[in-house]
Amino acid sequence: LSRISEAITSDLYLDDILKFIVTVTAELFQSKICSLMLLDDSSRELVVKATQSISEDYLHKPNIKLGTGIAGRVAQNGKELTVADVKKDRRYICTEIARQENLCSLLSVPLFFKGSVIGVLNCYTTTPHTFTASEKKVIQSIASQAAVVIANFKLVVESQVIKEELEARKLIETAKRLLMEQEGISEREAYNRMRQYSMNTRRSMRVVAEAIVLTQKANLADLKPMFLRTK
């Protein structure tokens, strides 16, 4: 667990941290396959995000719909599930992969963040194994640490998106004001002209706005884009 804690506080990318988590978990429990699946908010399916397995079949296994299979039930109900032998359990979906990889027992635990399930951590063995209470506690602790890493990463991404949107909005407003001053047109006309140029050139409004601002700063009137010129 200390190795996982160190990885979480490192400068590694999210994918590398999650790969490290499942690798350490697999070593700790001598697991043939350990995988971390995340719940896609739009499709409501569990997608394999990280695994230490090199099995091509497992790496390309189909997504699991919420409420189906073992992992899907864990994600839907927010409760761990143990399976004595996945090859014989009717709830388990990928029985062919289980036979090919000689998978047997499974412990699947939910990843929680702020009361909501965001994924599932799966731990497989190749021989019959009864997971003890202490083992379940350890794996749940690992799942909790993984959930915090994932949630923090999402928050960083969301904050960056919001920051970029605010910057783009500010830039567009500045460009619009410059266009109004240069061409003596209304705010609506300035915006419409920028939008039309954006559509015609297949460039974002931010790129168009940047061109206007940079042209103004450079004071290069002869290089003004066509949409800036008075017709």
CATH number at residue 215: 1.10.10.10
Do 105 and 38 have their domain in common?
yes
- Give the pLDDT band of residue 114 (cuts 50, 70, 90): confident
Where a domain ends, among 157, 184, 205? Answer: 157
Worst-scoring range by mean pLDDT, 87-91, 95-99, 105-109, 178-182? Answer: 178-182
Where a domain ends, among 119, 136, 157? Answer: 157
3-state secondary structure 58-95: HHCCCCEECCCHHHHHHHHHCCCEEECCCCCCCCCCCH
28-38 pLDDT tens trace: 888 889 999 99
Q: What is the mean pLDDT of residues 10-33?
A: 81
Q: What is the mean pLDDT of the chain?
A: 83
pLDDT attached to residue 219: 60
Element (H, E) at 113: strand 106-113
- Does position 3 have pLDDT exceeding 60, yes or no? no
Instruction: Determine whether 36 is exposed, middle or buried from the number of CB atoms within 10 Å of its CB (0-12, 13-18, 19+).
Output: buried
User: Which residue range(s) make up the domain with 188?
Assistant: 159-228
Do 153 and 163 have their domain in common?
no
Do 62 and 127 have their domain in common?
yes
